[in-house]
Amino acid sequence: MAIVVSALKEATGENRVALTPDVVSRLVKGNYEVLIEQGAGVNAFYPDQAYQDAGATLVSRDDAIKQSNLIAVINQLDATTIGQLTAGQTLIGLLAPLTDPDGIKALAKQKVTALAFELLPRTVSRAQTMDVLSSQSSVAGYKAALVAADKFSRYFPMMITAAGTAKPAKVLVLGTGVAGLQAIGTAKRLGAVVSGYDVRPASRGEVESLGATFLTTSVSGAGEGGYARQLTPEETQQQQDELAGFIAENNVIITTAQVPGRKPPLLVTQKSVDEAKPGTIFIDLAASDLGGNVASSKPNETVMTPAGAQIIGAGDMASQLPAAASDMFSKNVQAVINYVTKEEALSFDVDDDVLGELLATYNGDIISNRLRGAMNLPERTSSRPDQTVAADTETKGADQS
């Protein structure tokens, strides 16, 4: 019997879809049965007919839930929908395990197998094709630079005209992980003079390879394996003070520092915001209900300061480029599906170094040690004497990617 995979229509405000027609076609050829909730891909510019042509069956939301073995979503389901799930079903997506423990507990109570992309151990090479955080951060960084260019009141490139020469915009990107590097590359291609900042001195080569100037403060946040460590309060204050000078010299500041499950670090203080020149644009990719990198930023809103600077809460940038973002998200989902399929059945080895962390819940238990630590649960030990259960607890670069 074929494994039945379904994708649901996301809540209002989310334009992405977890499965695209291209991936549906591949799954169907791989002997999976695919159900798509009617209208699921419309906001990502994938009409229902495209899914039918790819071999999927269009169904109601209730049928997409009830008739599937594995349900793919972008974001965590609401409580009502979680209540419709049955024991043994698998849910995969960005399930907010570190910020929505009640939702995860509800999934465990239902004995649903929950695969949360936020928990993926990204240092394991085999996990790279499953890395949703990187794929969506790449989209977000690209889109952030485009939004900045659109909102900025002057040219991005230097322009020589009959009326004189327009100076190029000066763009500062704070955090040079995947999102930051994509923002740097895009802003550079648009003709701006670009600088990239990171607490990791080792990031210099990546930033300079894109033609940007590398900036860092006297605070070094280099951690193990090229990852950034969390700064102490004293280091954070020193970082903010030194960043203020960089910020004041630039027209556009794009911030990307996120730590899943925790309040984003404040990089741009209220003082820096208040002193920003008229026309300055702040793009805060970390803006969320937990806070942001820029003082006064609000998720999905634009705040105008009294001096005429704009603070754009841009936590939904991937959703604003839905077709491209959905393409990559869907391929990440397919990679996980392939990984957990053994002999035409779903199989979950909780001691596998990838699945052991990607699994938020399995058979009623909380599996990921990273999640267990956040929930103040004792560490789970492997049933294999020679197997170490690893937890990926740090964040690459200064952003979530």
CATH number, domain with residue 267:
3.40.50.720
173 and 48, same domain (yes or no): no
Pair (152, 191) in one structural domain: yes
272, 290, 320 — which closes off a domain? 320
> How does the average pLDDT of the chain come out, rounded?
91
- Is the domain of 26 the same as that of 158? no
Nearest by Cα to 287 from 133, 399, 132: 399
More confident residue, 377 or 2: 377
Cα–Cα–Cα angle for 267, 269, 275, rounded to 5 degrees: 125
The answer on 244 and 146 residing in a single domain is yes
Statement to judge: residues 312 and 326 lie in one domain: no
Question: CB-based contacts of 297: which residues, under 8 Å, 6+ apart?
Answer: 282, 284, 287, 303, 311, 312, 313
* Rounded mean pLDDT, 269-275: 94
- Judge whether 131 counts as a catalytic residue: yes
Please tell me which residue in 134, 240, 288, 368 is annotated as part of the active site: 134
Does residue 149 share a domain with residue 117? no
Distance CA 358, CA 114 (A): 8
pLDDT at position 81 is 96
116: its two tokens: 């949360």
**328 and 236 in one domain?**
no
Within-domain flag for 357: yes
Rounded average pLDDT over 27-38:
97
Structural domain contains residue 401: no
Is 182 catalytic? The answer is: no
Say yes or no: 79 and 189 in one domain. Answer: no
The DSSP secondary-structure symbol of 288 reads B
CA distance linking residue 99 with residue 258, whole number of Å: 13
Q: What's the rounded mean pLDDT across residues 10-39?
A: 97
Domain assignment present for residue 204? The answer is yes
Last residue of a domain, one of 289, 320, 351: 320
List C-alpha distances in Å: 281 to 168, 237, 277: 14, 23, 9
Residue 136 a catalytic site member:
no
Same domain for 103 and 223, yes or no, is: no
Task: Average the pLDDT over 351-364 and give the result.
Answer: 96
Comparing 52-61, 195-204, 295-304, which segment has the lowest mean pLDDT? Answer: 195-204
Across 233-262, b (16+ Cβ under 10 Å) vs e yields eebbeebbeebeebbeebbbbbbbbbbbbe
In this structure, what is the dihedral angle of CA atoms 297, 303, 308, 310, given to the nearest 10 degrees?
60
Tens of pLDDT, residue by residue over 58-110, are: 999 999 999 999 999 999 999 999 999 999 999 999 999 999 999 999 999 99
Catalytic residue among 32, 51, 89, 122: 122
Q: Which of 51, 131, 203, 310 is catalytic?
A: 131
Task: Determine whether 320 is an active site residue.
Answer: no
Question: How many angstroms separate the CA atoms of 141 and 180, rounded?
Answer: 6
Query: Any bridge partners for residue 36, and if so which?
Result: 7, 58
Residue 53: pLDDT band by 50, 70, 90 thresholds? very high
Secondary-structure breakdown of the chain: helix, strand, coil percentages, each rounded to the nearest 5? 35, 20, 45
Asked if residue 380 belongs to a domain, the reply is yes
Please provide residue 339's backbone torsions phi and psi, each rounded to the nearest 5 degrees. -70, -35
**123 pLDDT exceeds 90?**
no
**Count of domains observed in the chain:** 2
Residues 123 and 143 in one domain: no
Same domain, 283 and 382: no
Percent of the chain with pLDDT over 90: 80
Nearest to 115 by CA among 317, 347, 319, 286: 347
More confident residue, 385 or 252: 252
Residues 27, 69: contact at Cβ < 8 Å? no
Q: Is residue 31 part of a domain?
A: yes
Determine the pLDDT at residue 241. Answer: 86
pLDDT of residue 11 exceeding 50, the answer is yes
Domain membership of residue 367 (yes or no) is yes
Reading phi first (left if > 0) and then psi (alpha if -120 to 50, else beta), residue 243 is in alpha
Single residue among 320, 336, 351 that ends a domain in this structure: 320
**Cα–Cα distance measured from residue 320 to residue 147, given in angstroms and rounded to the nearest whole number:** 10
The Cα angle at residue 270 between residues 264 and 273, in degrees rounded to 5: 105
Q: Which of 49, 128, 209, 347 is catalytic?
A: 128
Beta strands of 167-278 (E only): which ranges? Answer: 170-174, 193-197, 213-215, 227-228, 252-255
Q: How far is residue 25's CA from residue 20's CA, in Å, rounded to a whole number?
A: 9
User: In this predicted structure, what is the pLDDT of residue 395?
Assistant: 38
| Dist. CA 6–CA 22, nearest whole Å | 14
3-state secondary structure of 96: coil
For residue 267, count CB atoms less than 10 angstroms from its CB and return exposed for 0-12, middle for 13-18, buried for 19 or more.
buried
Indicate which residue of 227, 368, 370, 401 is catalytic: 227
Residue 397 pLDDT class (50, 70, 90 cuts): very low
Which strand (E) or helix (H) includes residue 206?
helix 204-209
- Does residue 146 belong to any structural domain of this protein? yes
Q: Tell me what pLDDT residue 393 has.
A: 35
Conformational region of residue 61, where left means phi above 0, alpha means psi within -120 to 50, and beta covers everything else? alpha
Does 59 map to a domain?
yes
Identify the domain containing residue 184 by its residue range: 138-320
Contact 400, 259 (CB under 8 A): yes
Exposure string over 183-221, b if 16+ CB within 10 A, otherwise e: bbbbbbebebbbbbbbbbeebbebbeebebebbbbebeb
Single-letter amino acid, residue 309: A
78 and 99 housed in the same domain: yes
SS3 82: helix
Q: Is 155 a catalytic residue?
A: no
